[in-house]
Structures are given as C-alpha cells and as structure tokens.
C-alpha cells in the first residue's frame, strides 16, 4: 500500500518544476518564477495521497474513487460478474484525489487493459469508447468489477497491482492522471446507498451494502 503523502508518480514533475522555478528566478526575473512555482504547487496538490478512515464492516462496499456520482443504473456485465448488476459511475475533476482504492477486500481474479479514445470523462459513452483498465475483485461474499477510464486530459492510467494480487478494503491500487472517470459494477444483492449528484471519497464513502 502506498503510504507517502505524495504519490511517487508525481515526484518527477515536482522536481522538474522546482528546477525550472529556481532557474527562472536566478536567470530571468523573480516575478516570472511565480508561474512554474504555481504549477509545482498544483502538481503537488494533484498527486496528494490523503489518509482515509476505512470502515471495517465486510458487508459494506466503498467508493473506489473521489468525485461526483454521475449515474446509478442497471447493466449486464459480461466481463466478470456475468450477470445483471448495478453500475455506479464517478466523475473525477482535476481537483479531486485521483487515487483509486479497492471497494472490498479480496483477490484480483480478472484484469483487462483496453486501448481506446480520450473523450471527456463525463460523457455517457466513455465506458465503452475510452482507454480503460478493469479489475475484477472477488471474496467469499461477492464479486465486483472496477474500471478506471481515461478522459480528455487523463492520458495515463497507472496500476500497482496484477492478476492474483490480494487487496485490503480501501487499499490504494492505482490512479488516473488528471480528469477522469471510475465505474464500479456490483451484484444486485447489493443495496446502493448513493445517488446521482452525491460527492464521494475513495475508501471512505459507503456506496453500497450487501443484503444477503
């Protein structure tokens, strides 16, 4: 699990912008150095890795991402669940934490990376058209499918896990760089407790509750 306050993928950008800030300050003009300094501050903010309070109840399904719930609908999943399930779509703005967290504890039994387009992440069709990375997590109570979806600015999906990896509930397993979208599909035996327009926090907000 990633524990540093800044995700490691952000270090290279922070260091480069820090060097540019110093060079501009010394060789050009101190006022012009404000521009790369502000960019460095934003990048540091974007790659932040906040601590979260993870609920212990194993019947609860947690949000896999920070952001705003764009839709809750019924779908048929033929990738992992192979049944009708409930899909929650979460849009992440550039101001949200972009880490993805496991909604349940379990083993990764399915993993697929699909190349595609980079349409705006809030569009309804991005789950089918855009570049994406899906993992299927299974434990003795349920199976869930989580998909990281790239957006118009998000051109890089990062994953720190692979097939067979064991995840704890709320564990950080990857991120999407810049504005993006995350989808989770759960069985119909789960009661969804969020609705369109709700703000959620990855690894902390309960989005569903197992009924059986």
Find the helix packing angle between 11-27 and 34-46, rounded to 10°: 170
Q: What is the pLDDT of residues 165-184, one digit of tens each?
A: 999 999 999 988 766 789 99
Structural tokens at position 139: 């434990």
CA angle 112, 91, 82 (to 5 degrees): 40
Name the residue among 208, 137, 119, 212 with its Cα closest to residue 174: 137
Q: What is the pLDDT of residues 61-118, one digit of tens each?
A: 999 999 999 999 999 999 999 999 999 999 998 888 989 999 999 999 999 988 755 4
Q: What is the pLDDT of residues 103-158, one digit of tens each?
A: 999 999 999 988 755 444 444 544 445 688 999 999 999 999 999 987 655 456 88
DSSP letter assigned to residue 8:
G
In angstroms, the Cα distances linking 162 to 45, 71, 100, 103, 167 are 27, 28, 14, 16, 10
- Alpha-helix residue ranges (DSSP H) falling in the chain: 11-27, 34-46, 126-129
Stated pTM of the model: 0.82
Could you list the active site residues? 180
Give dist(CA 4, CA 200) in Å, integer: 22
Distance of CA 20 to the CA centre of its chain: 30
Local structure of 4: helix, strand or coil: coil
């Amino acid at each position: 699990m990633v524990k540093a306050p800044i995700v490691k993928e952000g270090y290279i950008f922070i260091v480069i912008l820090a060097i540019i800030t110093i060079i501009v300050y010394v060789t050009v003009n101190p006022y012009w150095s404000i521009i790369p300094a502000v960019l460095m501050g934003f990048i540091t903010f974007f790659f932040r890795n906040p601590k979260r309070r993870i609920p212990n109840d194993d019947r609860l399904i947690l949000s896999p991402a920070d952001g705003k719930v764009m839709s809750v609908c019924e779908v048929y999943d033929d990738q992992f669940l192979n049944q009708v399930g409930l899909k929650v779509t979460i849009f992440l703005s550039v101001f949200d934490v972009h880490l993805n967290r496991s909604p349940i504890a379990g083993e990764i039994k399915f993993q697929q990376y699909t190349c595609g387009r980079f349409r705006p992440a809030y569009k309804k069709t991005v789950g089918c058209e855009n570049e994406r990375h899906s993992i299927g997590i299974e434990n003795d109570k349920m199976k869930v499918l989580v998909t990281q979806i790239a957006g118009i600015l998000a051109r890089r999906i990062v994953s720190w896990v692979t097939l067979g990896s064991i995840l704890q509930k709320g564990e950080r397993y990857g991120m999407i760089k810049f504005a993006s979208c995350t989808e989770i599909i759960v069985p119909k035996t789960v009661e969804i407790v969020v609705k369109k327009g709700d703000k959620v926090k990855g690894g902390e907000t309960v989005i569903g509750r197992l009924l059986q």
